[in-house]
Amino acid sequence: MGHEARLKELGLILPNIADPAGSYEHAVRTGPLLFLSGKGPLGPEGRVGDEIGVDEAYEHARQTGLILLAVMRRELGSLDRVSRVVKVLGMVKAIPQFDRHPQVIDGCSDLFLTVFGEAGRHARSAIGVQSLPFGITVEIECIVEWTD
């Protein structure tokens, strides 16, 4: 089953992509790699470990994953052209004592595994940061390999 069919089977609807919020592109292709700029969830603000719990932040990371999928589709024309998710970098706006960044970014990683199967298994870093643009709780970027 292709990735587009899997997305449909799961009943997942990808969001519309807004224009970039600065002097950058949503994605850049070089050779067989597609580098996606950092994206974040729409609306939620707060600091994980304080106003925002791990479960809610996991959902924010999942929402961000849907946005990344939408960027992949827009850039490649179809998610079926994604041959592998190579790398994910997740940043979590959290209180200094918070140490469950990987569990938060699993929201995106689990989504990629569900949609892409084994091709969604990737290398990853998950870190905590003091602030993120527009007050978002997570920002995630990724690199995917694609084929014609």
Give me the tens of pLDDT residue by residue for the chain, a chain 148 residues long.
899 999 999 999 999 998 998 999 999 999 999 999 999 998 777 899 999 999 999 999 999 999 999 999 999 999 999 999 999 999 999 999 999 999 999 999 999 999 999 999 999 999 999 999 999 999 999 999 999 8
With respect to CATH, is domain 3-13+24-146 assigned 3.30.1330.40? Answer: yes
- Give the count of beta carbons closer than 10 Å to the beta carbon of residue 18: 10
Q: Compute the distance between CA of residue 78 and CA of residue 101 in angstroms, rounded to an integer.
A: 30
Q: Compute the distance between CA of residue 109 and CA of residue 124 in angstroms, rounded to an integer.
A: 9
Q: Compute the distance between CA of residue 58 and CA of residue 48 in angstroms, rounded to an integer.
A: 10
No. of helices (H) and no. of strands (E), the chain:
3, 5
Instruction: Determine whether 24 is exposed, middle or buried from the number of CB atoms within 10 Å of its CB (0-12, 13-18, 19+).
Output: exposed
Structural domain boundaries in the chain: 3-13+24-146
List Cβ neighbours of 80 (8 Å cut-off, separation of 6 or more): 2, 3, 4
**Reported pTM:** 0.97
Which has the closest alpha carbon to 77: 111, 118, 125, 29?
A: 29
Cross-strand partners of 87: 123, 143
